Amino acid sequence: MKILIINGPNLNLLGKRQTDIYGNRSFEEYLDGLYKQYPQHQIDYFQSNCEGAIIDRLHADGFGVDAIVLNAGAYTHTSIAIADAVRSISAPVVEVHISNVNAREDYRRVSYLAEACCGSIVGFGLDSYRLAIEAVERLK
């Protein structure tokens, strides 16, 4: 399968940022493990801190890949535009969060993306991404 992982704002700082919540591992290190674990899949990765760049990438790959794993970071809680982009493409999109957004501040309980995505995986640390890959394998 062709799977695209998209990370949104501040997720480039994983391993350095609020390590009590997001852990000590960089995403690049975690991704290396994913590549090794799933050699049968073509996994691409894109990170941006810009809403428009995330939308552009959803448009560019959203008709060509088999699935997208999307952690839109804080845009999850604000972006109707990203939600509309998810609705506009043909690839199924799984919403992912490292932390359990439902157990944090009230504003993190709101997801504009959840309704547009085929499912959500939240709260399992970086393992949320692997669980999303396991989930999309079953969509085939």
Active-site hit among 22, 30, 112, 129: 22
Query: Least Å distance between CB 2 and ligand DQA?
Result: 23
Query: Least Å distance between CB 94 and ligand DQA?
Result: 13
Query: Least Å distance between CB 120 and ligand DQA?
Result: 11
Active-site hit among 30, 75, 97, 112: 97
Smaller CB distance to ligand DQA: residue 74 or 139?
74
Containing H/E element for 120?
strand 119-122
First to last CA, the chain: 9
Smaller CB distance to ligand DQA: residue 41 or 125?
125
Is residue 97 among the annotated active site residues? yes
Q: Is 8 helix (H, G, I), strand (E, B) or coil?
A: coil
Residues lying near ligand DQA in the complex (CB under 6 A) are found at: 10, 71, 73-74, 76, 97-99, 101, 108
Q: Is 42 helix (H, G, I), strand (E, B) or coil?
A: strand
3-state helix, strand, coil in the chain (%, to 5): 45, 20, 40
- The encoded tokens of residue 87 equal 């609705």
Is residue 22 among the annotated active site residues? yes
Phi, psi at 48, each rounded to 5°? -150, 150
Give the residue numbers annotated as catalytic, written as ranges. Answer: 22, 97
